[in-house]
Amino acid sequence: MKHMAKAIAHAALLIAILLLPHSLAIQEYYTASDLTLEVTTEADFKVVPKSDSYTIRWIKANLTFAPEDNNQQKVLSIENVPDAFKSGNVFLFQWDEPVQKNLEFRSTATVKTFNNFAPVTRKISFPLQDIPDDIMEYAEPSPTIDSDDKEIIAQATQLAEGEDDLFIVLAKLAIWTKQNIRYDLQTLTAEVSQKASWVYHNRYGVCDELTNLFIAMARSLGVPARFVSGISYTNEPGIEGFAPHGWAEAYFPDIGWVPFDVTFGEMGFLDPSHVKLKAALDPEESSVAYRWFGSDVGLETGDLDIGVEVKGVGERTGPAIVFTLIPAKQEVGFGSYNLLRLQIENTANAYRAFDIALSVPDELTIVTDERQPVILRPGETKEAYWIVKVADSLAHGYRYAFPVTAYTDTNATADAAFTANSETAAYERFEMQAVIDQVKEEEAKSYSTEVTLSCTPSRKSLYLYEIGNLSIDCTIRNAGNTPLEGVSVCLGLQCGRINLGIGQRKEASFTVDEEDAKLGKRDIAITAKNGDVAKAVDITVEFLDNPKVEITKIRKPQEIPFDSAYALGFTVEKASYSIPKDVLVELYLGRQREAWTIDELSADKPFEIIIPPKAATAEEVPYEIIVTYHDANTREYQAREEFSVRVTNLDFIAKATIFLNGIGDWIVGLFG
């Protein structure tokens, strides 16, 4: 017969799924406080006579695939057809002198599963010592879990080196396996589960193969671990729904067996869609064993099928994790990189390990890994980071808002947003990576918390032509109980070295040069470092270019009848990052003048003017637009555009009128 371990992989072929309406999404099953599931396990087989004189006294089927109570599930009822005798976790079905040749059995269990975390509330030292004799076999190699493979041993040793916390060691093994072994349904064609060494060398597999490798690495480090067969909900294309599934349990002294589902990235816990049906030393252990007594007769056995019906869904649970998502820059330019920094606080009195994913709009590209693994001790706080890139091809003249969400499959989420426009400075990827490196360096140098660094710019906003007038004054203070020597305080390549005694504070000043000045709001980093501390502070300064105005979109007729009114239009366009101030717009028709004033040109300004009939001063009417404007320092700038409109239908009277209009302009110019 086929082993149930590979029946797990054959889920798409074997399982019969009965569900609530499809609107119940996978997320609801993952985050429910509990699920009530009816799990039906059944199989059929056939008596095959080898002669007409065959005899058969009895047939027995031992089913080891059945749920039992544990801290994450409770069996409410079990009904067996035909009746079965229970011995431990085995149901014994028996047929005495059967007449029928086609026989079947079925076990239907109603199970309530819970959204409970394994109670790992304290550090369990690694390596393990004094493992109980009845547990020790789970630390030894088995047919499929060849934990004595040299390469598996080397890989596990490398991951565990220097770590003395059992949960963290196992979480690292699970994370490495998930990140490095590709989940691939191609292995569904195999007849049996592949060995752990095969998975390590080939780097792909399905749930049972990933689990085999994880267990092998754990056992290679002397940690007892076993294979669990059961069911769970999956949204994997082709097998969406409840399906047979395999995961691992690792032994924790004084706690017991703790689940690790490498495929789903659930470490130390299981979501409530999991139902545990069997734990085994090796996935090759049979889930159904057939025996019979007779002569000239055999059995033809079928596959073990599992059907699931959801009977109830509990309330949605709140996460035990608190997330805060913070963009490094609230506004960036098109094509810019930005850093999203997630602060993660474990509010529970238990270890937590999980994947965090980031969801972004189409206009953003995640350039680092979309999913970030995190391991947290009870009450611990950590950070995760993503670098994203804004598209280059966004429409100029608009400000884009980008909502972003960090989330886990267990209902912990955090939302944030930042904006982008064409006028704001663009940041490079290395600048965002430098922020991550600085934070990690501060965490590694624990004395950094005893040092304060504060800096103030002499100007918060200035034009690029004023760059020589910008300085930054800093104060660094040692609030701890250890003197600090040779602390380098730097702005870029400008550095000074200081010594800081206990409780001392010292000053440092820097002059910002052109290399540090980039258009827009920029963060200038000041750092203070030695072998014991790493502190950094960003000083935000807005660098302004010279204001610039362009006269665009001139709208005029090429020619116009003398006795007709016509429209002129143009746009005064803001063509700089800085805002032009005290703007004067003048339109001249000959010596006739129209004027408008604008306090600040923060956006493009269109103008429309109706020229009355018979206003021409020449047969080719000259127009001039002059825009005079200033910066915040009252420096004056100017933009000009000239054009003309040809007048048609000129009879004697029209030409005389034009002549008189021109005389009027001459007189206006002469006297006023």
Per-residue pLDDT tens for 565-575?
A: 888 999 999 99
> What CATH topology corresponds to 318-432?
Immunoglobulin-like (2.60.40)
| pLDDT at position 14 | 29
Which pair of structure tokens corresponds to residue 393? 């091809």
Would you tell me how many other CB atoms lie within 10 Å of the CB of residue 438? Answer: 17
The tokens for 431 are: 């600048």
Same fold, 318-432 and 549-671: yes
- Return the axis-axis angle of helices 207-220 and 166-180, rounded to nearest 10°: 140
d(CA 219, CA 138): 7
Give the count of alpha carbons within 13 A of 317, CB side only: 20
Q: Where are the domains of the chain?
A: 4-116+286-313, 133-280, 318-432, 445-544, 549-671
Q: Is the pLDDT of residue 3 over 50?
A: no
Q: What is the pTM of this model?
A: 0.73
Question: Quick one: what percent of the chain has pLDDT higher than 70?
Answer: 89
Question: Of the candidates 135, 113, 118, which has an alpha carbon nearest to the alpha carbon of residue 67?
Answer: 113
Q: Is the peptide bond before 606 cis (omega within 30 degrees of 0)?
A: no
What's the pLDDT at 645? 86
Query: Domain 133-280 falls in which CATH fold?
Result: C8orf32 fold (3.10.620)
CATH of the structural domain 445-544, one choice from 2.30.40.10, 3.40.190.10, 3.40.50.720, 2.60.40.3880: 2.60.40.3880
> What band does 654 get if pLDDT is binned at 50, 70 and 90?
low
State the average pLDDT over residues 93-113.
Answer: 94
Nearest to 257 by CA among 115, 138, 385: 138
What mean pLDDT is predicted for residues 484-504? 93
Nearest to 615 by CA among 652, 659, 575, 658: 658
Average pLDDT over residues 243-250: 93
pLDDT value of position 614: 67
Q: What percent of the chain has pLDDT over 90?
A: 63
> In this model, does residue 103 exceed pLDDT 90?
yes
At 27, the pLDDT band (50, 70, 90 cuts) reads low
What backbone torsions phi and psi does residue 400 show, to the nearest 5 degrees?
A: -100, 135
The pLDDT value given to residue 484: 95
Instruction: Please give the average per-residue pLDDT across 353-378, as a whole number.
Output: 92
pLDDT in tens, 602-648: 999 999 998 887 666 667 788 899 999 999 999 999 999 999 888 78
Judge whether residue 667 has pLDDT over 70: no
Residue type present at position 319: P
Cα–Cα distance between 626 and 603 in angstroms, integer?
18
pLDDT at 487 over 80: yes
DSSP for 510-537, written as a single string: EE--GGG--SEEEEEEEEEE-SS-EEEE
Q: What average pLDDT score do residues 420-431 get?
A: 88
Confidence of residue 13 (pLDDT cuts 50, 70, 90): very low
Task: Give the C-alpha distances (Å, rounded to integers) separating 640 from 331, 572, 586, 587, 588.
Answer: 33, 11, 10, 10, 11
Residue 22: pLDDT over 90:
no
Homologous superfamily of the 549-671 domain (CATH): Immunoglobulins (2.60.40.10)
DSSP-assigned letter for residue 504: -
